[in-house]
Amino acid sequence: MKKPGRLFSLVIVVLGLGIVLTLLNIYELHKMRETGNLQQVIQPQVEGRAEKYAVHTPIVWVEGKKLESGYLKHVFAVFDRIGYALGNGDSNWDVLWSHEYPFESLAKKMATLKPHQKVNHFPGSGFITNKVSLAVSDNAFIPRAFKIPSEKDKFFQYAEEHPHTLWVQKRNSHRGIRIKHVQELDLSDAGSFVQVFVDRPFLIDGRKFDIGVYTTLTSIDPLRVYILESEALFRFCSHDYYPFDAQDINKYVVGDDYTPVWEIPSLKKLYRDLNFNFKETFNAYLETKGHNSRKLWADISSAIKTVYLQKEAALISATSKYSSSRNFFEMVRFDFALDEDLNVYLMEVNMSPNLSSGHFRQNTRMYEQVVFNLLSLVLVTRPASKDFIQSSEDEANMVVSDKDITVFPEWCISPSCLHNCEKEMCKLCSPCVSLSMKKTLKLAYLEHTNKRNCGRVLPKRMSEEFALEWTPTNNDPDFQNLNHKNKLMYMWFIGKCRQSAYWC
């Protein structure tokens, strides 16, 4: 009778251990679900493919200070919805989203990037986002500015010639801006600059405002730049501009407590009742007042294009220290002001622009669309392999093949190009295109087909008629003033535009 008792006890022990192990497994699976890693465990393999070709779950590493405050919650949300797992610097990550400029604090990681890894900043982007560097650029869309103290003499000469001009003095921190007369400026404040104040602003319901345009650099040498065309940020000053009082900065400086579109009486009905977004609400208002909104947005695009062309050499130099510039992309926000004649003035460019709806919950839609359109444009929402360049030949050709990037058949079959790559018109014929340039053209192809609501700023857009009549020998300053790779990129879009207006 003792043996059955021992056997019974043994069975009870084994069953107990089984229950404990089952509970532990359930607990671990629950934990993995909470941390977003469940998909990695239960991801089914694609039917008909060997195990080594199982679908890859991409990993995003989000880096920033005080992330627990939630200022990047919309970034986390979009990555989660497109199937990314959350990792860190020790993960085999695919995308790094860093709120800070990563090339100093994460220098070692940036120096050893793998081909498939993408980083949301470009080396040298400070040449664009640094307020002093931008303000003193020779750009017709930027109010005249003088670096202090090195350009003090030039400033005095300009001020003497324009005695009624009002000024603002700024530093990179953008804090403490106030209108001043010449005698009130601190011309010994090294690292600052003084800038002409844009008076007589365009007002809506008595309020001055600025326009934020989300802009993405996807490539340098050659340059490719896009803007989000479907939406923009509009921020109104919290106080009426008139009667003007220079001591009340809330009349002319957009602060953190700005007035949103839906609180402006003339815009409220368009936005709330008729359901237009911010940009179309503004455009509709302009049209009802007899203004040309298309010209305004064309001027904004021209201002953005000019900045990148001016800063390109500095960006190329900064990026040359890294093995490839294809690892990088960057979305910034260009902030513009308007005068009463709807002339456009670029005020600043913001690196890592605010994407938090903590202050205005209604901005959630816009911020998440900004991030989603950006990630689609830079090809990190695609379900294909980590890097189409390194994938199998069949998979790469499925996405984009050499035949998809071939242009100008009428030139390439001519005697001038059949055995000659020297002429400019022949340089995009398939035998003349280097492997590196083919990769560049394929990336441009994929960006264009994945750009969603983004529109190309560089290379410039064109009409189909323009493309059909264009040749390299035309008197086209937009072409002649470009460097070699930018010329090829510009020509390629002309060639694609000839094939279909979709590419124009």
pLDDT of residue 18: 63
pLDDT at 466: 97
Q: What's residue 239's pLDDT?
A: 98
pLDDT tens per residue, range 150-202: 999 999 999 999 999 999 999 877 666 889 999 999 888 888 899 999 999 99
Q: Among residues of the chain, what percentage have pLDDT more than 90? A: 78
Beta-ladder partners of 87: 61
Taking a C-beta distance cutoff of 8 angstroms, is the pair 331, 374 a contact? yes
Q: Where are the domains of the chain?
A: 144-196, 393-449+459-503
Question: What average pLDDT is seen over the chain?
Answer: 89
Does residue 15 or residue 381 have the better pLDDT? 381
| Helix ranges restricted to H, 275-414 | 278-288, 293-319, 364-377, 393-399, 409-412
pLDDT digits (tens, 9 = 90+) for 92-147: 999 999 999 999 999 999 999 999 999 999 999 999 999 999 999 989 999 999 99
Torsion angle, CA of 122/123/128/131, rounded to 10 degrees?
Answer: 120
| Structure confidence at residue 462 (pLDDT) | 96
Tokens of 71: 């200022």
What pLDDT is stored for residue 158 in this prediction?
A: 95
Query: Is the per-residue pLDDT at 65 higher than 60?
Result: yes
* Omega cis (within 30) before 58: no
Rounding to the nearest 10 degrees, give the CA dihedral for residues 380, 448, 482, 461: -140
Q: pLDDT band for position 15 (50/70/90)?
A: low
DSSP run (H or E) holding 97? strand 95-98
Q: What is the mean pLDDT of residues 81-91?
A: 95
Res 191: pLDDT: 85
Distance of alpha carbon 440 from alpha carbon 103, whole angstroms: 24
- % of the chain at pLDDT higher than 70: 86
HSE on the CB side for 384, CA within 13 Å? Answer: 19
